[in-house]
Amino acid sequence: MSKEPLSIPRKVSVPSLLARTARGGKFSVVTASDYPSARAAEEAGVDVLLVGDSLGMVELGYANTLPVTMEEMLHHARAVARGARRPLLVGDMPFLSYQVRPEDAVANAGRFVKDGGMDAVKLEGGRDMVPAVRAILAAGIPVVGHVGLTPQSIHRLGGYRVQGRDSAGARRILDDAVALEEAGCFAVVLEAIPARLAAVVTARLGIPTIGIGAGSACDAQVLVSHDLLGLLPDEPARFVKRYDSLYERMVDAFRAYRDDVESGEFPAAGHAYEMPDAEWEAFSGGLDPGGPEPVPVQEAAPALPRLTAGCRR
Ligand code: KIV
């Protein structure tokens, strides 16, 4: 008797991404910060999920990424890890979790793997971060670098500005990316740099470049999922492509729900539960005759089609 092979999705690994890049293939990365987005991105076949510290802004409402803590990152990382098995999962090291001492960097990277279910970590910065990168790698944890616009340095950079527009800045970014590759990073994020600079960096490195606002020559692209889904009403950056406007759709759905509740349209009989007539009669016959009348049953409720997660609680 022949058996159909079980279709178990093959986990994306660092070697499989490197092999794909070596063959000239591209891959996609999105940020994920919760269980539903992780599940949806996995179902869509996205290869890498980044639990980015941008969640501080798009999930937690902070003004920038600086206040984000390891505890907050781990809380979101665990939810993402429960939602996605196939993609490579990368935890973004928050401000001051790796910059002070390489020992802290290893300990915090280790927490992402041990407690957060992540496969790799990302950190911001170039040559200055080489000791932290080497220390984390020595503990067996793969590292993604991040150069160009590094949001944890906004105060030094003077805001969210395109980097590497002058020749000295461009040279710094190239040298930083090369230093990160030499230190052992398996990929480098290039954020908000001129497309032709990103093309040079991509050609120069043997590891994949992951672009965000860095043009099309990069080996991979990353977007913040809230930006690509339109989950917030704010005007997105120029480099974002919006694939939906879920914020407007959420407002419409919440408004329709509110209207239904106020008009009595919701819940309908199909959303309610029944009890056997005999039990009802035994119950209502025993009610205090002077008490309030039992609420009449409007119509027999059909079986609910399927229990939703909300109903399982
Ligand atoms: O935190 C984040 O979302 C990021 C990406 C923009 C690369 O670092």
* Residues ≥6 apart with Cβ < 8 Å to 132: 98, 99, 102, 105, 123
pLDDT at 309 over 90: no
Q: For residue 38, how far is its CA from the centre of ligand 1 (angstroms)?
A: 15
pLDDT of residue 215 exceeding 50: yes
pLDDT in tens, 197-214: 999 999 999 999 999 999
Q: What pTM was computed for the model? A: 0.91
Domains of the chain in start order, with CATH, are: 14-245 (3.20.20.60), 267-312 (no CATH)
Tell me the two tokens of residue 27: 């891959």
57 lines ligand 1 (CB under 6 A): no
Cα 278 to middle of ligand 1, angstroms: 60
Give pairs for 81-84: CB < 8 Å, separation 24+.
81/38, 81/116, 81/117, 81/118, 82/35, 82/38, 82/117, 83/32, 83/34, 83/35, 83/36, 83/37, 83/38, 83/39, 83/42, 84/32, 84/38, 84/39, 84/41, 84/42, 84/49
The reply to whether ligand 1 has any atom less than 6 angstroms from the CB of 53 is: yes
Distance, in Å, from the CA atom of 114 to the CA atom of 105, rounded to the nearest integer, reads 14
**Is the pLDDT score of 310 beyond 90?**
no
Write the CB contacts of 248 (distance below 8 Å, at least 6 apart in sequence). Answer: 230, 233
151 CA → ligand 1 middle, Å: 8
Cα–Cα distance, 191 to 198 (Å, whole number): 9
Tell me which of 4 and 140 has the higher pLDDT: 140
Flag whether pLDDT at 297 surpasses 60: no
